[in-house]
Structure 1
Amino acid sequence: MRASLKRRIIEICDRKISQKGAGVGLSFYAFFANRNDDPELLMEAAEWWIRTHRLDHFEKAAKIRSMVADMPE
């Protein structure tokens, strides 16, 4: 996963957790604007979420943040 996507995921997870609490869920679409302005990045996130980790559509933000933060550089 590219560093810019990793930073974006952590930032958005942190923001959602601070706004709505530790139990807040999100999907990988939460990391993107409503319009698809970077299809390669969207597909990279989808690949990581769906194929690599077989995550449900909605997962706890804290879980996703932890998974991404623990990834090697």
Structure 2
Amino acid sequence: MRAELRAKMIKVCDGKIATKGENVGLSFYAFFANKNDDPALLMEAATWWIETHQLDHFVKARIIKEMVQQNL
């Protein structure tokens, strides 16, 4: 995963946790605007989420943050 996506995921997770608490769930769509302005980055996130880790649609933000920080 490229550094740009990793940083974006951590920032979004931090924001969601700060506003909604430790148990907030999110999907990989949370890292993107409602428009598809960077399809390659979106596909990279989707591949990491769905193919690589076979995660459910919604996963706790704290878990995603930990996975990204551990470079999984």
The TM-score, its normalising length taken from structure 1, stands at 0.97
Residue 50 of structure 1: how far off its partner (Å): 0.1
Residue 22 of structure 1: how far off its partner (Å): 0.2
Residues 41-71 of structure 1: CA distance to partner in whole angstroms, max 9, x if unpaired?
0000000000000000000000000000111
CA distance, structure 1, for counterparts of residue 35 and residue 62 of structure 2: 25
The TM-score, its normalising length taken from structure 2, stands at 0.98
Paired residues in the alignment total 72
Residue identity over aligned pairs, in percent, reads 64
Root mean square deviation of aligned Cα: 0.9
Structure 1's consecutive aligned runs of 4 or more residues displaced over 2 angstroms after TM superposition are none
Partner of 1:7: 7
Partner of 1:42: 42
CA distance, structure 2, for counterparts of residue 44 and residue 67 of structure 1: 15
